[in-house]
Structure 1
Amino acid sequence: MPRHIDVLGHVNNAVWVEWVQDMATAHWDAVAAPEHARDYIWLVVRHEIDYRGNIGEGETVTGETWIPGDPQGATSARRVDFRNAQGKVIVSALTTWAMLDRETKRPARVRPEVVAPFRLDA
């Protein structure tokens, strides 16, 4: 979309962050156990993004997301890689999310069974 393009003719960095968050949310909505989706919500606490390339208007990108390791207390890391049409990773993100109890809005310890369906090694 033209509104996603910056003055250099590439996807704006803020748009990549939006896409990372959209993918994580869609992944949770699609895969989380119903009781987990009912009881918990997630909040981003950190983004780390490496830009190794970019795409311009009319070009396509595909994204892949997964949980790369074990949770730490109330937080869990998530990877997102975006590949260009040639299959090269052009943007790679590592985000840290905090899990909150939906009712109290307080941090909740992330149990392994909550993130297990999102791991590549599961």
Structure 2
Amino acid sequence: MGRKALEPRADREIFVVPLTVQPEHIDDNGHVNNVVYVGWLQEAGTAHWNARFDLATRTRWSWVALRHEVDYLRGIGPEATGVVARTWVGDPDGPRFNRYVRIEDGEGRLCAQGVSEWCLVDARTLRPARIPADMLPKFQRA
């Protein structure tokens, strides 16, 4: 496939999440099913959010997925180990944020990549809210 590999901007933190291939992830073709990758995109984003923000912030705000797009580049088989998701965020746009994820095998080869569009919402009302200016620095390189 001729897709260009996603690369983070220099000022973005790259957050790494280890992924485990489970027997139920494997489809009839002998590799991780495409639906699992969408779950991994969400898992990576949630782990990054939880690692960077305190409980009070996570209680006040929540995220709603608006769109997921995944490019499948190389199959991951049932015996795969060392699989990771590398994730980072784009620029805020009102209440929206794009999150980028690269899924790599234990040899560092790009197997899939994805972009998810998320909307920040008030956790109590579920109404969209502009992303606060103080939120972005938590996702930047130190």
Give the TM-score, by structure 2 length: 0.78
Structure 1 equivalent of residue 76 of structure 2: 55
Judge conservation of contact 1:75–1:97 (CA < 8 Å) in 2: yes
Cα distance, 1:34 vs structure 2: 4.4
- Any residues of structure 2 matched to 1:1-122 within 5 Å, and which? 1-60=22-81, 61-67=83-89, 69-120=90-141
**Residues paired across the two proteins, number:** 120
Q: Is the CA contact (8 Å cut-off) linking 1:71 and 1:111 kept in structure 2?
A: no
Provide the alpha-carbon RMSD of the alignment.
1.4
Alpha-carbon separation, structure 1, partners of 2:117 and 2:140: 15
| Structure 1 residues 68-113: Cα deviation after superposition (integer angstroms, max 9, x where no partner) | x211111101011111122111111110000000121100001232
Deviation at 1:26, TM superposition (A): 1.4
More helix by share: 1
96-105 or 111-120, which deviates more: 111-120
Of stretches 50-59 and 27-36 in structure 1, the one that deviates more from structure 2 is 27-36
Please, which runs of 5 or more residues in structure 2 have no aligned partner? 1-21
Offset at residue 51 of structure 1 (A)? 0.8
Paired position in structure 1 for 2:6: none
TM-score by length of 1: 0.90
Instruction: Return the alpha-carbon distance in structure 1 between the equivalents of residues 93 and 119 of structure 2.
Output: 10
Moved over 4 A (4+): none
Aligned-residue sequence identity (percent) comes to: 38
